[in-house]
Amino acid sequence: MTDGDAVTLDDLDRQIVAALQIHGRATWQQIARAVGTSDTTVARRAQRMFNSGIVRVVASTDPLRCGYGYPVMMQVKCRVGQSPRVAAELARRPDVRFIALVTGSFDIVLELIVSSQRELARILFHGIEAVDGITSTVTENVIAHYKVAHVWSHGTLDDDATRLLAEARGAIEETEPTPLDERDQALVELLADDARLSFAALAGELGISESMAKRRVTALVRDGRMRFSTIVNPELLGYGVEVICWLGMDLRYLDDAARQLAARPEVRYVAGTAGYSDLSCEVVLRDQADLHRFSTAVLAHLPGLRTTEIGLELATLKRAYTLVDTPFGTGPDGEAPA
């Protein structure tokens, strides 16, 4: 898996990661059946990737389904040379679910979860815009989610394997937003560090029975209040280009265009936004040639498209509330390394 200091994954490693993207708590036997090898081989390889830190399976709450608030997207401009430090500081905020350094008109893009417009105003004026190094911000309200995909390594597993893992994971049911109780919140916090903790380990930490731990996890996943994400550098799976697209649309065609984007396997996120753009999407691609194909063969044919802006993700610092990268030139606390 390693070549000197460089980390590499072979085809079987990539298939295991793809299986974990589909079903983060799949058993080794379920993954082995999907990738066509033994469960001991899967367990050994997966544990090696977990121990090295290159792959993590984490849990997070869905703020809408838990009634905690709603997302807004923010684009940030910084003084020259300040964006890595600013991004690291913003990434430490618990209300930031996603943040990345990008190219283009902005230096940083982030997703923030807020409970109300009043709270958003307080965060903007007394929190984010007070951070030294920020010169301006643009905030967009997310008015519709069309896709939030945790599976984007398309083509790594065949259709039958993907279907079997999805069936084992189960479908999410439509329910009314319901806040977590104290015990469920503690459960999510444990799984946020390691979503593959056994039910026995969860039961021991929470002082409940193993069967109760299993019932609570199953219920939280079924109603969508808790979801699992497999965190891995896309380059290790052969995807070297991540971009965020801001699209200006003829609003009559927005819904159709959003659904077309959401159907694309390379598109990880699609949201309708009110503000700087009308649609925002995040796309995971193999290389620059693939970006050209996506621009000319997909974006160019969207109905009602008026304007397009594309920013390359230079470094993703946080995803699913989880710190995943250190910005260039800074240490883990956002300070320049000694």
- Please check whether residue 329 lies inside any domain of the structure: no
226 versus 154: the higher-pLDDT residue is: 226
Q: Report the SS3 class of residue 7.
A: strand
- Please check whether residue 293 lies inside any domain of the structure: yes
Identify whether residues 309 and 211 lie together within a single domain: no
Identify whether residues 210 and 247 lie together within a single domain: no
Identify whether residues 87 and 209 lie together within a single domain: no
User: How much is the pLDDT for 149?
Assistant: 80
Identify whether residues 293 and 306 lie together within a single domain: yes
Identify whether residues 224 and 246 lie together within a single domain: no
Over residues 113-139, mean pLDDT: 95
Identify whether residues 264 and 253 lie together within a single domain: yes
Which pLDDT band holds residue 3 (cuts at 50, 70, 90)?
A: very low
- Please check whether residue 180 lies inside any domain of the structure: no
Indicate whether 219 pLDDT > 90: yes
What's the mean per-residue pLDDT of the chain? Answer: 92
Question: How many C-beta atoms lie closer than 10 Å to residue 307's C-beta?
Answer: 10
Instruction: Write out pLDDT tens, residues 16-39.
Output: 999 999 999 999 999 999 999 999
* Counted domains in the chain: 2
- Please check whether residue 186 lies inside any domain of the structure: no
Which pLDDT band holds residue 287 (cuts at 50, 70, 90)?
A: very high
User: How much is the pLDDT for 99?
Assistant: 97
Identify whether residues 251 and 286 lie together within a single domain: yes
Indicate whether 178 pLDDT > 50: yes
- Please check whether residue 287 lies inside any domain of the structure: yes
Q: Which of 213, 232, 251 is the last residue of a domain?
A: 232
Identify whether residues 166 and 47 lie together within a single domain: yes
- Please check whether residue 184 lies inside any domain of the structure: no
Q: Which of 232, 249, 281 is the last residue of a domain?
A: 232
CB 270 within 8 A of CB 152: no
Indicate whether 71 pLDDT > 70: yes
User: How much is the pLDDT for 331?
Assistant: 55
Q: Which of 232, 252, 282 is the last residue of a domain?
A: 232
Residues 6+ positions from 79 with CB-CB distance below 8 Å: 133, 135
Identify whether residues 256 and 317 lie together within a single domain: yes
Which pLDDT band holds residue 243 (cuts at 50, 70, 90)?
A: very high
Over residues 262-266, mean pLDDT: 93
- Please check whether residue 306 lies inside any domain of the structure: yes
> Would you call 131 exposed, middle or buried from its count of C-beta atoms within 10 A (0-12, 13-18, 19+)?
middle
Indicate whether 265 pLDDT > 80: yes
Q: How far is CA 198 from the centre of its chain?
A: 23
Indicate whether 129 pLDDT > 70: yes
CB 235 within 8 A of CB 253: no
DSSP 155-183: TSS-HHHHHHHHHHH-PPPP-------HH
Indicate whether 337 pLDDT > 50: no
15 versus 326: the higher-pLDDT residue is: 15
Residue 93: CATH number of its domain:
3.30.70.3460
Identify whether residues 7 and 107 lie together within a single domain: no
Rg (the chain; Cα; Å):
20
Over residues 161-172, mean pLDDT: 91
Over residues 197-219, mean pLDDT: 96
- Please check whether residue 143 lies inside any domain of the structure: yes
Domain with 218 in it: 2-53+153-172+191-232
User: How much is the pLDDT for 4?
Assistant: 42
Share of the chain above pLDDT 70, in %: 94
Residues 6+ positions from 235 with CB-CB distance below 8 Å: none
User: How much is the pLDDT for 338?
Assistant: 38
- Tell me how far apart the alpha carbons of residues 216 and 256 are, in angstroms, rounded to a whole number: 37
User: How much is the pLDDT for 1?
Assistant: 57
Give backbone dihedrals phi and psi of 27, rounded to 5 degrees, phi first: -70, 160
> Would you call 155 exposed, middle or buried from its count of C-beta atoms within 10 A (0-12, 13-18, 19+)?
exposed
Which pLDDT band holds residue 335 (cuts at 50, 70, 90)?
A: low
User: How much is the pLDDT for 148?
Assistant: 86
Which pLDDT band holds residue 126 (cuts at 50, 70, 90)?
A: very high
Identify whether residues 166 and 276 lie together within a single domain: no
Identify whether residues 144 and 71 lie together within a single domain: yes
Which pLDDT band holds residue 281 (cuts at 50, 70, 90)?
A: very high
